[in-house]
Amino acid sequence: MSGFEDLAKKAGDFIGEHKDELDAALKSEQAEDISDKVLDGAEGIADKVTGGKFEGQIKGLRDAADGAIGNK
């Protein structure tokens, strides 16, 4: 087994053993705050790159992504 395969197996084993803990962490308020900051930053960059021409569509995409990954 190569080093990469060994690392991937160890990561998979870890995730399997700690699934409930990881699920809870991903649904925490702290994770929500981090995802909001990342999405806000991506929204700002997209608005800047497009010169604000697609502000409404970008906001809609940001909100849809937040709903899909957030804990709301």
9-61 per-position pLDDT tens digit:
888 888 889 888 888 887 788 888 999 999 999 999 999 999 999 999 999 99
pTM value? 0.65
pLDDT at 62 over 90: yes
The tokens of 24 are what? 């809870």
Segments forming the whole domain that contains residue 30: 3-69
Taking the C-alpha atoms of residue 72 and residue 66, their distance in angstroms, rounded to an integer, is 9
Going by C-alpha positions, the residue among 23, 17, 12, 27 that lies closest to residue 71 is 27
Domain count, the chain: 1
pLDDT at 1 over 70: no
The CA-atom distances, in angstroms, between 4 and each of 1, 7, 9, 14, 18 are 8, 5, 9, 15, 21
pLDDT band at 71 (very low <50, low <70, confident <90, very high): low
pLDDT score at 28: 84
Type of residue numbered 14? F
